[in-house]
C-alpha cells in the first residue's frame, strides 16, 4: 500500500465514523492529503496505524452545564473537551464559549491543535474545549455562575501535567479568572499551571494578551522577508476585533503598514486613514461594545453591515483574525483579483479548503493557521514554564521567545515543504513538520 492509498483508506473510515461533522472532516482531509509523500517514504508509519490513531481522539468528553441566570431561571448549555493527542506532552488547547460550538467544531480545533502545538517545538499535546454558552449580553454574575458550573465538571479531567486549557473566542481574562478560582476551590490547591491566560497577579505571563496577534505578524514578516518583501507601506485588511486582531493591527502598524479595516460578527469598519487602535480598544476591551460604535469617534470612517464583504476591500496583505470559514472561494478570488500578495491566518482555519486552493494556485504567499497563529499557544506554554519554576520573565524576554518560535515555525515549514517535493507550499510544509514530531513520539511509545 502506497501513501496515497493509505491516506484514502483512512479518510474513508473517518468520514463514515464522523457523519455530519463537516468542520472536523475538512480539517482531517486538509492535513492527511498533504502527508502522502511522508507515507511513501515511511511504510513503518503505515504498519503502525499512525493515521488511524491520530484521527481518533484519545478522549472525547461532553457534559451538560446547568446554571441560573439573573432572573432566577435555569439555563442548560453543553460543555465539551476533546483530548486529542498527548504523545509529546500534556494536552493543551483553548476553551471557546460561543453559540456555534458543537462537537464537530471542537474536534476540528483539537485536531488542528496537535500540529500547531508540535510546530512550536514545545512539549505540549493537542486538545480543545468549550460550550455553546454565549457570554455576550450576560452580566458578570451570570458569566461567573456559568464558569463555575462548567468547571464543576471539567475539573475532573484537567491538571498541570494532564490537560491545560486556555482561552479562545468568548473566553478572556474574566472567564479564565472565574474558571481558575473555582478549579482551585474544588481541588483544594493552588495549581497555577492548570490554566493559562491568567491575570498577572496570579500567575499569568506578560505578552500573553498580545501573543497571537504579534506572533501572526512575526510569522508573516518572515514569510514576506523570504520573498524580499515587507509590511512597510503595505495596505492591510484585518478581520475581527478581539485580541488577535487588535494586536495584529498594533504590530503591523509598528512595522510600517496601514491597516484599514477591522470587524465583528455584525459588520466591518473601513478607515482609509488607518484604523485608530485606541478607539477599537476602548470599544472592545473596556465597553465590550459593537464595532459600529467606531463611527462615533471617527465619523470619516465607513461601516458596512456585512462582515463577509470585508474581503472585497482592496489590499496588499490580508490577515483573517475572526473565525473559521470566513474566507470562502468567492472571497479568495476577490482578494486575488484586487491584488493581494499575502494572506496569513490569525483565526483557526478562517479559509475554506476551496479558498486555500485559490490562493495557492495563484501563487499568493499563504500562512496557514496552524503555523501563523501559534504565537498564542507558544506563550501559553511559556506561561506554564514560568508557573513551574515560580518565576516571571519580562515582557521583552517573552516577546523575543515568541518571535523566535514564529520564525522557526516558518523556516521549519518551508524546509519540510522543500524536502518533500512541495517547495513554497507552507500549508503542506506546516502539516508535515508538525506531523513528523508527533509521529516519531507515537512510534517510540508503542501502540497506546
Contacts 24+ apart (CB under 8 A), 280-283: 280/241, 280/246, 280/249, 281/246, 283/241
CB atoms inside a 10 Å sphere around CB 193: 18
DSSP 8-state code for residue 285: I
> How far lies 242's CA from each of 122, 216, 429, in Å?
26, 14, 28
Q: 193 with 186: CB under 8 angstroms? A: no
Virtual CA dihedral for 402, 406, 408, 411, nearest 10 degrees? -170
Nine-digit cell string for 127: 486538545
Nine-digit cell string for 160: 498541570
Q: 178 with 147: CB under 8 angstroms? A: yes
Q: Which bin fits 207, alpha (ψ -120 to 50), beta or left (φ > 0)?
A: left
CB atoms inside a 10 Å sphere around CB 246: 23
Question: Would you call 111 helix, strand, or coil by DSSP?
Answer: helix
Q: 300 with 269: CB under 8 angstroms? A: no
What is the Cβ-side half-sphere exposure of residue 303, based on CA atoms within 13 angstroms?
15
314 is in an annotated binding site: no
256 is in an annotated binding site: no
243 is in an annotated binding site: yes
198 is in an annotated binding site: no
Give CA–CA dist 412/426, Å, rounded: 9
437 is in an annotated binding site: no
Residues with catalytic roles: 128
Edge to edge, the sheet with strand 74-85 lists 59-68, 74-85, 125-131, 91-97, 163-167
Give CA–CA dist 85/173, Å, rounded: 26
Which of 295, 301, 300, 296 lies closest to 313, judged by CA?
A: 301
Residue 129, judged by CB atoms within 10 A of its CB (0-12, 13-18, 19+), counts as buried
220 is in an annotated binding site: no
What is the bridge-based pairing of β-strands 261-263 and 258-259? unpaired
Give CA–CA dist 214/393, Å, rounded: 17
Nine-digit cell string for 163: 490537560
408 is in an annotated binding site: no
Q: 416 with 435: CB under 8 angstroms? A: no
> Residue positions in the annotated binding site for NAD(+)?
212, 243
> Residue positions in the annotated binding site for substrate?
92, 113, 116, 167, 380
Amino acid at each position: 500500500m502506497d501513501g496515497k492509498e493509505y491516506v484514502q483508506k483512512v479518510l474513508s473510515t473517518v468520514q463514515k465514523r464522523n457523519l455530519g461533522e463537516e468542520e472536523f472532516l475538512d480539517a482531517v482531509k486538509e492535513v492527511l492529503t498533504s502527508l502522502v509523500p511522508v507515507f511513501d517514504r515511511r511504510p513503518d508509519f503505515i504498519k503502525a496505524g499512525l493515521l488511524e490513531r491520530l484521527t481518533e481522539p484519545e478522549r472525547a468528553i461532553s457534559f451538560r452545564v446547568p446554571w441560573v441566570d439573573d432572573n432566577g431561571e435555569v439555563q442548560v448549555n453543553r460543555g465539551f473537551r476533546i483530548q486529542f493527542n498527548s504523545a509529546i506532552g500534556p494536552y493543551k488547547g483553548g476553551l471557546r464559549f460561543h453559540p456555534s460550538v458543537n462537537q464537530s467544531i471542537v474536534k476540528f480545533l483539537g485536531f488542528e491543535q496537535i500540529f500547531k502545538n508540535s510546530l512550536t517545538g514545545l512539549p505540549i499535546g493537542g486538545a480543545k474545549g468549550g460550550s455553546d454558552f454565549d457570554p455576550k449580553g450576560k452580566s458578570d454574575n451570570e458569566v461567573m455562575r456559568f464558569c463555575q458550573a462548567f468547571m464543576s465538571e471539567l475539573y475532573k479531567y484537567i491538571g498541570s501535567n494532564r490537560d491545560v486549557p486556555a482561552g479562545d473566542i468568548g473566553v478572556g481574562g474574566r472567564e479564565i479568572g472565574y474558571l481558575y478560582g473555582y478549579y482551585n476551590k474544588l481541588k483544594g490547591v493552588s495549581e497555577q499551571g492548570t490554566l493559562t491566560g491568567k491575570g498577572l497577579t496570579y500567575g499569568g505571563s506578560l505578552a500573553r494578551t498580545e501573543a497571537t496577534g504579534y506572533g501572526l505578524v512575526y510569522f508573516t514578516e518572515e514569510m514576506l522577508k523570504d520573498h524580499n518583501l515587507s509590511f512597510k507601506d503595505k495596505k492591510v485588511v484585518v478581520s475581527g476585533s478581539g485580541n488577535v486582531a487588535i494586536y495584529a493591527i498594533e504590530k503591523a502598524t509598528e512595522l510600517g503598514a496601514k491597516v484599514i479595516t477591522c470587524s465583528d460578527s455584525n459588520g466591518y469598519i473601513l478607515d482609509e486613514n488607518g484604523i485608530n487602535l485606541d478607539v477599537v480598544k476602548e470599544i472592545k476591551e473596556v465597553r465590550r461594545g459593537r464595532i459600529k460604535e467606531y463611527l462615533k469617534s471617527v465619523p470619516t470612517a465607513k461601516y458596512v453591515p456585512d462582515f463577509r464583504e470585508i474581503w472585497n476591500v482592496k489590499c496588499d496583505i490580508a490577515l483573517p483574525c475572526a473565525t473559521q470559514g470566513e474566507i470562502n472561494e468567492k472571497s479568495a478570488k476577490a482578494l486575488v483579483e484586487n491584488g493581494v500578495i499575502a494572506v496569513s491566518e490569525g483565526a483557526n482555519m478562517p479559509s475554506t479548503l476551496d479558498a486555500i486552493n485559490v490562493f495557492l494556485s495563484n501563487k499568493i504567499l499563504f500562512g496557514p493557521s496552524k503555523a501563523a497563529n501559534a504565537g498564542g499557544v507558544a506563550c501559553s506554554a511559556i506561561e506554564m514554564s514560568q508557573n513551574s519554576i515560580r518565576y516571571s520573565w519580562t515582557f521583552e524576554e517573552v516577546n523575543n521567545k515568541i518571535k523566535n518560535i514564529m520564525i522557526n515555525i516558518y523556516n521549519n515549514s518551508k524546509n519540510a515543504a522543500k524536502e518533500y517535493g512541495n517547495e513554497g507550499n507552507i500549508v503542506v510544509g506546516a502539516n508535515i513538520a508538525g506531523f513528523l514530531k508527533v509521529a516519531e513520539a507515537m512510534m517510540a511509545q508503542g501502540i497506546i
